[in-house]
A and B are shown apart, each in its own frame.
Chain A
Amino acid sequence: EPEVTQTPSHQVTQMGQEVILRCVPISNHLYFYWYRQILGQKVEFLVSFYNNEISEKSEIFDDQFSVERPDGSNFTLKIRSTKLEDSAMYFCASQRDRSYEQYFGPGTRLTVT
């Protein structure tokens, strides 16, 4: 059964460094998302991506964040200058089309020291 994959599973970085989190969505899916979950808190929406552009972003998704789908398969989230408060689990999700179910990747645990 097709699944969403994410790499790395765990990333440790120093404050101020750039990180790129990678996701491979399910191949025939059209909608892509990044969510994050700070330890002990609920999952929060970051950004949605459709037709090669951002369709919606949350207040969290400021200028330090960017997303890209560089080669038609990977979907990446970049954080330019990480802060301690960026430490969280980041989930990628993909969706076949409008009104379909979202499928989640296993997550990348980002630790900023």
Chain B
Amino acid sequence: KNEVEQSPQNLTAQEGEFITINCSYSVGISALHWLQQHPGGGIVSLFMLSSGKKKHGRLIATINIQEKHSSLHITASHPRDSAVYICAVRSSFGNEKLTFGTGTRLTIIP
């Protein structure tokens, strides 16, 4: 069973700051997702990655397979980035289901 840990659990920052959210997992994976959940509850997929680095706008996601670790970075943070960011992994053992972390609640203060 894969254990997915995120840190920090809560993060408050000033607008414009560089944000880093970390995710580590215990068992080999085929892919890792970063997801965003707004207060209304809906989940939006930000990235799926299995190696290296991906960038979309101000968001950057990296993964180190050997260290079983991924980071999500937000550059020039904005109050609209305030949300819960969730890391979820897909096992490398054939099934496609996702195992989720507990999420990081990010609050950006203007």
Contact in complex: B43, A91 (CB < 8 Å):
yes
Within 8 A of A (CB), among B19-35: 30-31, 33, 35
How far apart are the CA atoms of A79 and B2 in the complex, in Å?
A: 27
Q: Is A65 an interface residue (CB 8 A)?
A: no
Q: Is A104 an interface residue (CB 8 A)?
A: yes
The answer to whether A33 and B41 touch (CB under 8 A), given A43-B86, A99-B31, A101-B33, is no
The answer to whether A33 and B33 touch (CB under 8 A), given A101-B45, A101-B48, A104-B42, is no
The answer to whether A107 and B96 touch (CB under 8 A), given A42-B103, A43-B86, is no
Contact in complex: B97, A45 (CB < 8 Å):
yes
Contact in complex: A106, B103 (CB < 8 Å):
no
Q: B106 → chain A, closest Cβ, in Å?
A: 16
Contact in complex: A107, B98 (CB < 8 Å):
no
Main secondary structure of the interface of A (DSSP, over half): strand
Q: Is B99 an interface residue (CB 8 A)?
A: yes
Which chain B residue has the least Cβ–Cβ distance from A44? Answer: B100
Within 8 A of A (CB), among B77-98: 86, 88, 95-98
- Interface size of B by CB at 8 A reads 22
Q: Is A109 an interface residue (CB 8 A)?
A: yes
Q: Is B76 an interface residue (CB 8 A)?
A: no
Chain A residues positioned under 8 Å from B45 (CB to CB)? 101-104
How far apart are the CA atoms of A43 and B44 in the complex, in Å?
A: 13
Chain A residues positioned under 8 Å from B43 (CB to CB)? 43, 91, 104, 107
Contact in complex: B95, A106 (CB < 8 Å):
no
Chain A residues positioned under 8 Å from B30 (CB to CB)? 99
Chain A residues positioned under 8 Å from B88 (CB to CB)? 43
Inter-chain pairs besides A33-B97, A56-B95, A101-B33, 10 sampled, C-beta below 8 Å: A31-B96, A41-B102, A42-B100, A42-B103, A43-B43, A48-B97, A99-B30, A101-B45, A106-B40, A107-B43
Q: Which residues of A contact B (CB under 8 A)?
A: 31, 33, 35, 37, 41-45, 48, 55-56, 89, 91, 95, 98-99, 101-104, 106-107, 109
Q: Which residues of B contact A (CB under 8 A)?
A: 30-31, 33, 35, 40-45, 48, 86, 88, 95-103
